[in-house]
Chain A
């Protein structure tokens, strides 16, 4: 699978706002498996929109996205090709941290119960696993959301500002976990960020 973007332009942005972008309005932008990409832009310039276009959450764009897969809708890719960390996390507040991850894992049964527990232990104090998500701090929630995103087979992992609520050291630990998973699956990684975080080793950096 490859993600190919052709002449993508958000419908609600004018040409002048996105001129000079490495991605928008470009005739052909390709993301390949096995590579790590950083998409950098200032706030409000459409980073989240880009990932939403790729994930299929947002259809308000001109141009085409080709996944080089035999599917007619991006939705079908969500099970085992595309995984997404949402900027607003999208956790279920009444479910515990562990249940939030299990809810996702149930779709594919990709990880075993023990694997989930051990991943959560890396990013959270152990007792927080069984607490409702709404009682966790934003940073903790973000880490839970990251673990959740890893609980499926994927060929591309999309992370939208994954460390916006996490300090540098924890970020590095989490990034290690992510890298291990990504390399194990031979997947591509696309990360959007406000600034340069050096926790990943990127193959390509693009300005939006």
Chain B
């Protein structure tokens, strides 16, 4: 009976309006969160083996440099200047070998093939290759190296064809072991060596940093390590000062590196923007239903006052409206999550056809639950407060 009385006080059009706007707002929020987790790994797939994303920087080779070789190196002052920039997080240098090296391949009947080598090293965190063989200590007799994948590509796509030689996959190369001879300071040593990985970003032959520091001390000729190349990690790759800064000083920087972080940055920015708008929509729909309930309460104040008079507590009176709003909200959010599930399965099939499949977490349930709890708490409290305000006897001022 009480329910019947209270049901008549409802304004169905406003409840439907609330349900629709809330559904739209919630769907957009859920979708944005989910798209963000699904798409970000795809955009950063080239760099997600990096926990640190650093960009190689070198000086422009111009006529000036060919005459004066020292100016291809970065000196202490220049390094310091770079480190002081607030858009630069860290600067690492390529270390080079100050001893001679030679790689020797067992050729069987033909005899050994050997070639002079050069090495460089960078801090391990900047490697774009995952390998568990990079740990080296001075007791180790094995020296891993990483070469640019472009070397192999040049061979496979250019040289092999012209020489009618077979093409060779990365995995085959990784099986070939050879000897690495290092010599310097009157000492000589031989290591077992293998190519353990191919880098798509670092344009040099890499050995573990620990090895090179040690070897330079033991075999090196004491040359000062001059860096002609740097790895620079940015705070924010999209800082507009960066291109200008590097251009002014004649430093070479691989623009495409910055592109990917720019894309991620803009994507994130777009998602944040969309989520903000969607949250505004949700807040507006909340305001709408609260105002609608207020209107109902005000329009029917006599009803509530009478109920209070005959002994119905505000909690009892509020229950009906709390339940109605709560059910509408729960159903609404469920509908939104179902819609998102459908939409997500649609775009995931399309993404899978273009990108390699990456497993991403389904986080829209969590977002939906959080939203639901927040909304329910706000509504239940507001309704009760408003009814209490209307029915309790007023104090004279």
Interface residues of A (CB under 8 A from B): 11-12, 56-60, 75, 78-79, 84, 86, 90-92, 94-95, 99, 102-104, 106-107, 148, 152
Complex: chain A residue closest to B393, CB-CB: A59
Q: A79 vs B308: C-alpha distance in the bound complex, in angstroms? A: 11
Complex: chain B residue closest to A86, CB-CB: B309
| Inter-chain contact A106/B310, CB cutoff 8 Å | no
| Inter-chain contact A99/B1, CB cutoff 8 Å | yes
| Inter-chain contact A75/B303, CB cutoff 8 Å | no
| Inter-chain contact A107/B311, CB cutoff 8 Å | yes
| Inter-chain contact B1/A57, CB cutoff 8 Å | no
Interface positions, chain B 366-397, Cβ under 8 Å from A, are 393-396
| Inter-chain contact B311/A152, CB cutoff 8 Å | yes
| Inter-chain contact A12/B396, CB cutoff 8 Å | yes
Give chain B residues whose Cβ lies under 8 Å from the Cβ of A91. 306
| Inter-chain contact B313/A75, CB cutoff 8 Å | yes
Q: A12 vs B311: C-alpha distance in the bound complex, in angstroms? A: 26
Min CB distance B329 to A, Å, is 28
| B249 interfacial contact with A, CB 8 Å | no
Q: Mark B1-17, 1 if CB is under 8 A from A, else 0.
A: 11001001000000000
Q: Given the known inter-chain contacts A57-B393, A59-B393, please indicate yes or no for A103 contacting B8, CB distance below 8 A.
A: no
Q: Given the known inter-chain contacts A78-B311, A148-B310, please indicate yes or no for A102 contacting B1, CB distance below 8 A.
A: yes
Give chain A residues whose Cβ lies under 8 Å from the Cβ of B8. 94
Give chain A residues whose Cβ lies under 8 Å from the Cβ of B395. 59-60
Selected from B1, B2, B393, the residue in CB contact (under 8 A) with A56 is B393
A58-B393, A94-B5 given; 7 more Cβ-contact pairs under 8 Å:
A56-B393, A86-B309, A90-B306, A99-B1, A102-B1, A103-B310, A107-B312
| Inter-chain contact A92/B303, CB cutoff 8 Å | yes
Min CB distance A98 to B, Å, is 10
Q: A60 vs B8: C-alpha distance in the bound complex, in angstroms? A: 33
Selected from A79, A103, A152, the residue in CB contact (under 8 A) with B2 is A103
Q: Given the known inter-chain contacts A12-B396, A58-B393, please indicate yes or no for A90 contacting B310, CB distance below 8 A.
A: yes
Give chain A residues whose Cβ lies under 8 Å from the Cβ of B394. 59
Q: A94 vs B5: C-alpha distance in the bound complex, in angstroms? A: 8
> Secondary structure at chain B's binding surface: helix, strand, loop or mixed?
loop
| Inter-chain contact A84/B309, CB cutoff 8 Å | yes
Q: Given the known inter-chain contacts A92-B303, A92-B306, please indicate yes or no for A104 contacting B396, CB distance below 8 A.
A: no
Give chain B residues whose Cβ lies under 8 Å from the Cβ of A106. 1-2
Give chain B residues whose Cβ lies under 8 Å from the Cβ of A107. 310-312
Give chain B residues whose Cβ lies under 8 Å from the Cβ of A79. 311
Interface positions, chain B 295-311, Cβ under 8 Å from A, are 303, 306, 308-311
Selected from A75, A86, A103, A152, the residue in CB contact (under 8 A) with B1 is A103
Give chain B residues whose Cβ lies under 8 Å from the Cβ of A90. 306, 309-310
Interface positions, chain B 260-292, Cβ under 8 Å from A, are none
Give chain B residues whose Cβ lies under 8 Å from the Cβ of A92. 5, 303, 306
> Secondary structure at chain A's binding surface: helix, strand, loop or mixed?
loop
Q: A104 vs B308: C-alpha distance in the bound complex, in angstroms? A: 11
Min CB distance A160 to B, Å, is 12
Complex: chain A residue closest to B391, CB-CB: A75
Interface positions, chain B 80-101, Cβ under 8 Å from A, are none
Q: A60 vs B395: C-alpha distance in the bound complex, in angstroms? A: 6
Q: A94 vs B303: C-alpha distance in the bound complex, in angstroms? A: 11
Give chain B residues whose Cβ lies under 8 Å from the Cβ of A57. 309, 393
| Inter-chain contact B306/A95, CB cutoff 8 Å | no
Give chain A residues whose Cβ lies under 8 Å from the Cβ of B312. 107
Complex: chain B residue closest to A145, CB-CB: B310
Q: A60 vs B313: C-alpha distance in the bound complex, in angstroms? A: 21
Give chain B residues whose Cβ lies under 8 Å from the Cβ of A102. 1
Complex: chain A residue closest to B314, CB-CB: A75
Q: A172 vs B396: C-alpha distance in the bound complex, in angstroms? A: 39
Q: A157 vs B82: C-alpha distance in the bound complex, in angstroms? A: 89
Give chain B residues whose Cβ lies under 8 Å from the Cβ of A75. 308, 313
Give chain B residues whose Cβ lies under 8 Å from the Cβ of A104. 310-311
Q: A92 vs B312: C-alpha distance in the bound complex, in angstroms? A: 14
Q: A205 vs B310: C-alpha distance in the bound complex, in angstroms? A: 27
Min CB distance A208 to B, Å, is 20
Q: A103 vs B306: C-alpha distance in the bound complex, in angstroms? A: 11
Q: A86 vs B311: C-alpha distance in the bound complex, in angstroms? A: 13
Give chain B residues whose Cβ lies under 8 Å from the Cβ of A84. 309
Q: A12 vs B395: C-alpha distance in the bound complex, in angstroms? A: 12
| Inter-chain contact B396/A11, CB cutoff 8 Å | yes
Complex: chain B residue closest to A103, CB-CB: B1
Top 10 A-B pairs, shortest CB-CB distance? A78-B311, A60-B396, A90-B306, A59-B393, A104-B310, A107-B311, A90-B309, A103-B1, A79-B311, A57-B393
Q: A81 vs B311: C-alpha distance in the bound complex, in angstroms? A: 11
Give chain A residues whose Cβ lies under 8 Å from the Cβ of B310. 78, 90, 103-104, 107, 148
Min CB distance B145 to A, Å, is 83
Give chain B residues whose Cβ lies under 8 Å from the Cβ of A99. 1
Offer 28 A-B interface pairs, CB within 8 angstroms, sorted by A.
Answer: A11-B396, A12-B396, A56-B393, A57-B309, A57-B393, A58-B393, A59-B394, A59-B395, A60-B395, A60-B396, A75-B308, A78-B310, A78-B311, A79-B311, A90-B306, A90-B309, A90-B310, A91-B306, A92-B5, A94-B5, A94-B8, A95-B1, A95-B5, A102-B1, A103-B5, A104-B311, A106-B2, A107-B310
